[in-house]
């Protein structure tokens, strides 16, 4: 299945887009999605945390590790997933 | 937790993302939209507070500098060679505002503050303009100073706001 | 010393003792008497500064609380039993203003600030009124926060100003 | 000789006056004046620093140790001496 991941800041600039797609199987965990990002989007490596300890935003709240993600469009109950790293407000 | 006198009540907390630079006008508008009226015109801060309870009020302003430090690895090549015109702040909504609010509450409670308000810009803020305002009120100065340092460190880790340089 | 960009010049420093509480009016008057014009109305601080050099501006206000902590040993008996009407600040003149100025210069230089202004009241300041204002401007927030903490600690050691409670 | 020492804050409240007089010989050092204050004004003890390390203001500048003090009226070249301790501004 395909999972869309929103990206921002330096990651979005580097990828020249505001979202990337990763190929995942079933309902992956946060850890698995981070591992898939590492494998399938090496250009984002500088912005990717280690899968073991890193976090993603799932439905706009931070989540890590074994948290399951439901792929698919929001309208069909899918989760909104975003890579939030290297923030730099203030 | 052993809170200082006068802070037995939960701290009053306000956090908001504001479009454009934080002019005095936008700041006042944002405060009043959230039902806050400034205690005194000097600090321009909190909701009505018992007079005589606040002993220290600190106002921090983050201002866009002409020479922005390059922190994004992909911009290595452009390192400090050009002058900025502005910064463009991108926020992940509504997580950014919610994150700002959660951080505000957490820091205000941890340090036993009387009030904390945090405002951050979204969109373009020109050189010399204010992009971030943090106002902290507490019984004594120690907790106000500690809360301020704590808040700013955490802001850069946990609140999804990014800045992009706009070169001159 | 390796100063941050934009602070190669000596920091601009102002220090003054002001009669009565530090209202906005008295603050503005005191700044202008010393030839300072506020950079922006928000921080109300320094002499004309190159635009885009300041990245952080912090304003600290010390405000008279209704319940003043008793620090003088001879007042042990009265410990926090009564409400204050005001504090009466006594200064040893002109050493107090000179000491405030020396401290301002020293802290501004040590932390590589762009500007620092310090105002302190002399005489009666009522509960809820401001008796001390410190405004600090620097390239980045770290040195502004450190300078502020440093200044306030040293103020209480080295500047000959005493306060007397005036009970309600 | 008599030396007048200005006092402030808690010290002035405790002594119910804004200056005290100490008996000194010749032109004493800061250390000697502090020792004389300890000996001759025990009510000020809580406000007095140890003579070895303590300071006084001499002509409105901090001074310690071996610094000599000229007793006598200001108009006749005497030093202005003040006890500055337990300050509490801000």
pLDDT tens readout for residues C24-71: 889 988 888 877 765 444 443 444 456 789 999 999 999 999 986 654
Residue C154 binned pLDDT confidence (cut-offs 50, 70, 90): very high
Residue of chain C with shortest Cα separation from B24: C42
B163: contact with C, CB 8 A cutoff: no
User: Do the Cβ atoms of B31 and B118 come closer than 8 Å?
Assistant: no
User: Which residues does residue B15 pair with via DSSP β-bridges, in sequence order?
Assistant: B118
Please determine, for residue B69, whether its predicted confidence score (pLDDT) is greater than 70. Answer: no
Q: Chain D interface, mutation test: which of C160, C164, C165, most D Cβ atoms within 10 Å?
A: C160
Contacts of A90 in chain B (CB under 8 A): 62, 120, 131-132, 152, 155-156, 161
Residue B10 binned pLDDT confidence (cut-offs 50, 70, 90): confident
Mean pLDDT of A59-81: 93
Residue C50, C-beta contacts closer than 8 angstroms, at least 6 positions apart? C6
Q: Give the angle C53-C54-C59 at the CA atoms, nearest 5°.
A: 165
Residue C58 to residue B63, Cβ atoms within 8 A: no
Confidence at residue A48, expressed as pLDDT on a 0 to 100 scale: 93
C145: contact with B, CB 8 A cutoff: yes
Confidence at residue C137, expressed as pLDDT on a 0 to 100 scale: 94
- Of the partner residues D84, D87, D89, the one whose CB lies closest to the CB of residue C132: D89
Measured CA to CA, the distance from residue A77 to residue D50 in angstroms comes to: 75
Confidence at residue C138, expressed as pLDDT on a 0 to 100 scale: 94
pTM metric for this prediction: 0.87
ipTM attached to this prediction: 0.86
What is the length of chain D?
Answer: 90
Contacts of B96 in chain A (CB under 8 A): 89
Residue B109, C-beta contacts closer than 8 angstroms, at least 6 positions apart? B10, B11
Q: Please return the burial class of A11, using the count of CB atoms within 10 Å of its CB with bins 0-12, 13-18 and 19+.
A: buried
Q: Please return the burial class of A84, using the count of CB atoms within 10 Å of its CB with bins 0-12, 13-18 and 19+.
A: buried
Contacts of B143 in chain C (CB under 8 A): none
Residue C156 to residue D9, Cβ atoms within 8 A: no
Mean pLDDT of A19-28: 93
B26: contact with A, CB 8 A cutoff: no
Query: Hey, what are A44's tokens?
Result: 């984002």
User: Do the Cβ atoms of D19 and D32 come closer than 8 Å?
Assistant: no
Q: Tokens 């984002």 identify what position?
A: A44
Mean pLDDT of B89-105: 96
Query: Hey, what are A18's tokens?
Result: 């505001």
Average predicted confidence (pLDDT) for chain D: 92
Please determine, for residue B131, whether its predicted confidence score (pLDDT) is greater than 70. Answer: yes
Query: Hey, what are A69's tokens?
Result: 């993600």
Instruction: Give chains near D: 3+ CB pairs under 8 A.
Output: C
Q: Please return the burial class of D19, using the count of CB atoms within 10 Å of its CB with bins 0-12, 13-18 and 19+.
A: middle
D55-58 and D61-64 strand pairing: antiparallel
User: Which residues does residue D57 pair with via DSSP β-bridges, in sequence order?
Assistant: D62, D82
C55: contact with B, CB 8 A cutoff: yes
DSSP-assigned letter for residue D80: P
User: Do the Cβ atoms of C16 and B23 come closer than 8 Å?
Assistant: no
Query: Hey, what are C94's tokens?
Result: 């002109």
Return the SS3 of C153: helix
- Of the partner residues B62, B73, B157, the one whose CB lies closest to the CB of residue A87: B157
Confidence at residue C32, expressed as pLDDT on a 0 to 100 scale: 85
Q: Taken in order B1, B7, B10, B14, is the CA torsion positive or negative?
A: negative
Confidence at residue B47, expressed as pLDDT on a 0 to 100 scale: 42
Comparing CA positions, the residue from B122, B116, B88, B84 lying closest to residue B103 is: B116
Helix (H) and strand (E) counts in chain A? 2, 5
Residue of chain C with shortest Cα separation from D58: C95
Query: Hey, what are C92's tokens?
Result: 């040893």
Return the SS3 of C151: helix
- Of the partner residues C52, C62, C145, the one whose CB lies closest to the CB of residue B128: C52
Helix axes B141-158, B95-110, angle to 10 degrees: 150
- Of the partner residues A13, A60, A87, the one whose CB lies closest to the CB of residue B159: A87
- Of the partner residues B62, B73, B92, the one whose CB lies closest to the CB of residue A10: B73
Q: Please return the burial class of A30, using the count of CB atoms within 10 Å of its CB with bins 0-12, 13-18 and 19+.
A: buried
Query: Hey, what are C25's tokens?
Result: 């009016």
User: Do the Cβ atoms of C64 and C128 come closer than 8 Å?
Assistant: yes
Residue A37 binned pLDDT confidence (cut-offs 50, 70, 90): very high
Residue of chain B with shortest Cα separation from A16: B74
Percentage of chain C exceeding pLDDT 70: 79
List Cα–Cα distances, D11 to B63, C87, C91, D17, D18, in angstroms.
45, 17, 14, 9, 8
* Exposure b/e, C117-148, CB count within 10 A at least 16 = b: bbbbbbbbbbbbbbbbbbbbbbbbbebbbbbb
How far from the centroid of its chain's Cα atoms is residue B40's Cα?
Answer: 18
Confidence at residue B41, expressed as pLDDT on a 0 to 100 scale: 41
C115-126 and C12-19 strand pairing: parallel
SS3 letters across B99-130: HHHHHHHHHHHHCCCCEEEEEEEEEEEECCCE
Residue B139 to residue C65, Cβ atoms within 8 A: yes
Residue C7, C-beta contacts closer than 8 angstroms, at least 6 positions apart? C53, C112, C113, C114, C138, C139
Q: Identify the weakest region by mean pLDDT among B8-17, B150-159, D35-44.
A: B8-17
List pLDDT tens digits, range C77-114.
Answer: 445 557 899 999 999 999 999 999 999 999 999 999 99
Which DSSP helix (H) or strand (E) runs through A34?
Answer: helix A30-40
Contacts of B71 in chain A (CB under 8 A): 86, 88
Residue B52 to residue C6, Cβ atoms within 8 A: no
- Of the partner residues C56, C63, C65, the one whose CB lies closest to the CB of residue B62: C56
User: Do the Cβ atoms of B17 and B125 come closer than 8 Å?
Assistant: no
Measured CA to CA, the distance from residue D8 to residue D88 in angstroms comes to: 11
Please determine, for residue B81, whether its predicted confidence score (pLDDT) is greater than 70. Answer: no
């Amino acid at each position: 299945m395909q999972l869309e991941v929103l990206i921002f800041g330096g990651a979005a600039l580097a990828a020249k887009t505001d979202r990337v797609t990763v190929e995942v199987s079933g309902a992956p965990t946060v850890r698995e999605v981070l591992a898939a990002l590492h494998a399938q989007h090496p250009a984002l490596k500088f912005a990717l945390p280690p899968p073991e300890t890193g976090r993603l935003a799932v439905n706009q709240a931070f989540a890590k590790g074994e948290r399951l993600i439901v792929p698919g469009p929001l309208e069909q109950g899918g989760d909104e997933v975003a890579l939030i790293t290297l923030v730099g407000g203030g | 937790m052993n809170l200082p006198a006068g802070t037995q009540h939960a701290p009053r907390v306000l956090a908001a993302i504001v479009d454009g630079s934080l002019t005095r006008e936008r700041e006042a508008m944002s405060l009043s939209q959230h039902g806050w009226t400034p205690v005194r015109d000097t600090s321009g801060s909190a909701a009505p507070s018992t007079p005589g309870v606040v002993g220290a009020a600190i106002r921090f302003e983050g201002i866009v500098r002409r020479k922005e430090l390059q922190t994004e690895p992909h911009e290595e090549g452009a390192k400090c060679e050009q002058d900025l015109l502005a910064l463009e702040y991108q926020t992940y909504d509504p997580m950014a505002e919610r994150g700002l609010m959660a951080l505000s509450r957490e820091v205000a409670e941890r340090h036993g503050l009387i009030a904390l308000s945090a405002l951050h810009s979204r969109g373009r803020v020109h050189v010399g303009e204010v992009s971030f305002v943090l106002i902290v009120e507490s019984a004594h100065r120690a907790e106000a100073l500690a809360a301020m340092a704590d808040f700013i460190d955490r802001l850069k880790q946990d609140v999804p706001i990014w800045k992009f340089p706009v070169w001159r």
